Structures are given as structure tokens and as C-alpha cells.
Amino acid sequence: MKRVCVYCGSAVGDDPAYRNAAEKLGSILAGSGIGLVYGGGRVGLMGVLADAALKAGGEVIGIIPGHLHAREIGHQGATRLIVVGSMHERKQKMFELADAFAILPGGFGTIEEAMEMITWRQLGLHDKPIFLIDAAGYWAPLIMLFDHVIARGFARPDSRDLFRVLKRVEDVPLALAASPPSHLAKPELL
């Protein structure tokens, strides 16, 4: 694994466990020699994550659309800050640069990004590993919704294999090491 794309909030949330998870993940990725690809912001969990990775000497690539550059305060300290024209370009570039995905707590945008990667994997557009990092039980309601969708017949039972739930950030390196490399060619157009 060269790089992991991390989706997370542009706010820090109401539980210190979320901030701690972002700090730990940034440090762990850098300490493992794995680059970080993320939304490019300097605020919220995005900023905490990027700062921790940079402090630990890691590569940090931020992708941010021009219209959010000022609002999310693009992280000028990132190894590379790529300003793109739209949210679609942001997500596509993040996808292209990543070998795996980790999802920390976040809001609607984080959920949308996670769902898109899970859906793309379900459709066979990629087979990159996806990890929901369930800091302080944050993703428990979403996981219950996934189980409900499966129970009601709108997804196959093996759909739960599209992603893994990790309770601890410290489990990310082992989960990455246990994940086979992608055997699908990166799609030119999605």
C-alpha cells in the first residue's frame, strides 16, 4: 500500500475520541510509510489528521475544489495541495491516488464519499479495501442501516464483505497488510 484515502469531517464533532482517532491514524500512516490522501482542508478532523501525518514525517496529498478552498481553508502545509474544479473531480482524483480507503467520523459529505466507494466496489469498478473506523461507536447506526438493507432483501448478505469495520485505529496497519492488492485495472472513466 502506497497511499490510503481517508474520508473524515471538516468539523471535530462532540467526542474527543474522534479527534484522537484522526491524530492516531495520521501518525500511524506516516509511521508505516503510507501516504495520506484526503480532502485537503486544514479544519476539523481533516486538519487534525493531516497535521498528525505531517508531524510524523508522512506524505500528505490534499485534494480540494476551488469553491471549498477558502471555506475549508486549504492546508498550505500539505506535501501537495491539488485544487480542482468540482467535487466530482475531487472524488475522482482521491480515488485514483489511493490504494485503500479509511473512513473516520464525519458528516453528510463523509457518508456520501464512503457510500460511493462501497457502491463502486459492489459494482466491480474497484476492489480496493475499505475500512470504517468506528471510533467511539460513531458508525454503529450506519452499520445497523446496512444490516437492515441486507435483511430486507435490497443487498446480498455478502455485501458486508465490501468493507471492514475496525474498532481501533491501531488495527489499520494489520488490516492493510491482510488486504490483497487490487487485481482490477484502475478504470479510466467511471
Rounded to two decimals, the pTM is: 0.93
- CA–CA separation, 47 vs 19, rounded Å? 10
Q: Cβ atoms within 10 A of the Cβ of 96, count? A: 14
Phi and psi dihedrals of 12, rounded to 5?
A: -95, -10
Phi and psi dihedrals of 105, rounded to 5?
A: -55, 145
The predicted pLDDT at position 187 comes to: 41
Nearest to 64 by CA among 51, 45, 46, 48: 46
Q: How far apart are the first and last CA of the chain?
A: 22
Domains of the chain in sequence order: 3-175 (3.40.50.450)
Q: Coil, helix or strand for 164?
A: strand
| Grid coordinates of 70 | 477558502
Q: What are the average pLDDT values for consecutive 10-residue runs of the chain, which has 190 residues?
A: 96 98 98 97 97 98 92 90 96 98 98 97 96 98 97 96 96 90 45
From start to end of the chain, where are the E strands? 3-7, 35-38, 60-65, 80-84, 100-103, 130-133, 164-166
Q: Cβ atoms within 10 A of the Cβ of 88, count? A: 11
